[in-house]
Homo-oligomer: A and B are copies of this chain.
Amino acid sequence: MEISARLIEVPSSPIRKLLPLAQKAKSQGVTVFHLNIGDPDIKTPLPMIKVLKNWQINPIGYDLSQGNSRFIQSLLFYYHQLGHGFLDEKNIQVTTGGSEAIAMAMFAVANPGDEILVFEPFYANYNSYAVTSGIRLVPITTNISDGFHLPPAEVIRRAITTRTRAILYCNPNNPTGTVYTQTEIEMLVDIARKYKIFLLSDEVYREYVFDHRRQISLFNYMEKNPQNTLVLDSMSKRYSACGLRLGTLVTLNDKISSGVLKIAQGRLSCGLIDQEAASALSQLLPNYYTQIRDEFARRRDVLYPGLQAIPGVVIPKPEGAFYVIARLPVDSSERFCQWLLTDFRHRQQTVMLAPASGFYATGKLGQSQVRIAYVLNCRKLARAVELLKLALQVYPNTR
């Protein structure tokens, strides 16, 4: 009666595995500032909440496996407004969070033992989906010194083998906050076309780009590359509704669409209530998105100079999303993050960060780094930065 070998291989989430320590601290009356997880404190839009308050549907039955029709129409409204008028109902598969979109995409493009290229540090949960679908993630390292931008094409080409089936990237990037340039995206599109591999673009943070940057969506290249491009999306961050568990897998490749629909039929449907609520996205004004973006930019402008001023901290200026990878003057960020929860207190407060090693696949990379999610308001964020500064002053294990 042994459990499966692969169950042992599933990695613990670097974002969540320290939660028991946080809960213990809280039970001792300690306030924990959560910068470990991308769960923003911004309110979910009222039109979505109103759907709940005015709820009429009963029984709460299954929805269509592809997705609730009303929700798909509202998604099309959103994508069309962004300028991607070529997208049609049949191109959209609704998923249980962006998570399921990524898992389905991996399953759809690669067989067990096949390889998918990722740029490390990368969203740690990619590891989970890779293990559950038996795929090997092949990391291409990016560096804090150039703000984690992509390496030259030849570095990527060298990583391609006969088993390589896709390049998976996140733009704007979780965990680094990097926004890829048009040149970078076009490099990936060219490589994917040349080597006949898929491009999987995780665009969950599409709206969150700062300093007049533009997010270069893979949608811009989808009509010219209809067979090998997939966009993976989520409602979680855009509408500050992580608990809605809704995402999308978007592609013009009919074989992928009909294939993932079969997987979707197997799990019947996404939540009816969540889809009905999320359909209210079409009632939001265009300035909804810019308001949220500006709020994250303000937070970035608290976090970035604050961290920069701490001796020994190395931090690239975040360009988008609401994350940054920072290098701290500690030997092991894992031990430091634990210590923050178990030992460090200042006025009964501490801060929770995600150790960055879980975002790397290569050996010992990231051991002094942390991922910081700036999902708290500016006042709390300023205090969290102060706590981190105080903590580093007294941490016994600094270099």
State whether the Cβ of A256 lies closer than 8 Å to any Cβ in chain B.
yes
Q: Are A4 and B111 in contact (CB under 8 A)?
A: yes
Which of A79-87, A95-103, A342-350 lies at the interface? A95-103
Which of A167-175, A206-214, A258-266, A316-324 lies at the interface? A258-266
How distant is the Cα of A61 from the Cα of B40 in the complex, in angstroms? Answer: 8
Within 8 A of B (CB), among A1-23: 1, 3-8, 10-13, 15-17, 19
Interface string of A42-65 (1 = CB under 8 A from B): 111000110011110011111111
Q: Are A99 and B197 in contact (CB under 8 A)?
A: no
Identify the interface centre among A13, A44, A99, A267: most chain B CB within 10 Å of its CB: A267
Within 8 A of B (CB), among A230-269: 240-245, 253, 255-256, 259-260, 262-263, 265-269
Query: How many chain copies?
Result: 2
Total A residues in contact with B, Cβ cutoff 8 Å: 85
Q: Are A4 and B96 in contact (CB under 8 A)?
A: no
Residue in B closest to A273 when the chains form the complex, CB atoms: B273
Question: Which residues from chain B contact A61 at a C-beta distance below 8 Å?
Answer: 39-40, 242-243
State whether the Cβ of A125 lies closer than 8 Å to any Cβ in chain B.
yes
How distant is A98 from chain B, measured CB to nearest CB, in Å? Answer: 9
Q: Are A65 and B1 in contact (CB under 8 A)?
A: no
State whether the Cβ of A294 lies closer than 8 Å to any Cβ in chain B.
no
Which of A128-136, A138-146, A180-188, A215-223 lies at the interface? A128-136
> Of B48, B256, B262, B266, which one neighbours A129 at CB under 8 angstroms?
B266
State whether the Cβ of A311 lies closer than 8 Å to any Cβ in chain B.
no
Q: Are A13 and B265 in contact (CB under 8 A)?
A: yes
How distant is A41 from chain B, measured CB to nearest CB, in Å? Answer: 7
Chain A contact residues, CB within 8 Å of chain B: 1, 3-8, 10-13, 15-17, 19, 37, 39-44, 48-49, 52-55, 58-65, 96-97, 99-100, 103, 107-112, 114, 125, 127-129, 132-134, 165, 196-198, 227-228, 240-245, 253, 255-256, 259-260, 262-263, 265-274, 277
